Amino acid sequence: MLISKDANAAKSRPPPPPQTPLKRVYDLVGTIFTLGLLNFIVPSFLLLDVSKTLRVWAVVGWHGHFVIVFAFVFFYGGGAKVLKRAQAARVKRLDGSSKVRPTLTPSHSTDAMILPPVDRAAREAERVVPLTR
């Protein structure tokens, strides 16, 4: 099976950096803001009417626009530098390096399911279910 073969490679990866209280707060706040913004934006795609969308946004108090403005002010006002320094300190505690690693890394948990490469999965699916026209 393709998944179990690639899952063995995940076991040899180093453990993730330790979770700090600041990282947990950042993740929680980011999740709450993301869900709130999705709930704010989705009605415009469901209604497909500018006047109805503006009415919905007025009823909920335009909070999505305020969150976006707050995010721009925070990140462009120095918040990005503070968070990058905190990330660098976190990584430095892990391995003694001051070099910041990319933030978009795969899960290092041994419980995480590793999906096979798309091309291999597509070839296997074509073999099992032949394409017909």
For residue 86, the enclosing domain spans 17-104
Question: How many domains are contained in the chain?
Answer: 2
**Do 52 and 68 have their domain in common?**
yes
**Do 48 and 28 have their domain in common?**
yes
Quick: pLDDT tens for 74-124: 999 999 999 899 888 877 877 655 454 555 445 555 555 565 577 777 777
Within 13 A of 6's CA, how many CA atoms are on the CB side? 14
Quick: pLDDT tens for 6-53: 555 556 667 776 788 888 898 999 999 899 899 999 999 999 999 999
Q: What is the DSSP letter of 78?
A: I
**Do 31 and 84 have their domain in common?**
yes
Residues 6+ apart with CB under 8 A from 18: 90, 93, 94
Q: Output the pTM of the full model.
A: 0.52
Nearest residue to 88 (alpha-carbon basis) of 10, 29, 23, 27: 23
**Do 55 and 110 have their domain in common?**
no
**Do 120 and 94 have their domain in common?**
no
- Rounded to whole angstroms, the Cα distance separating 106 from 108 reads 6
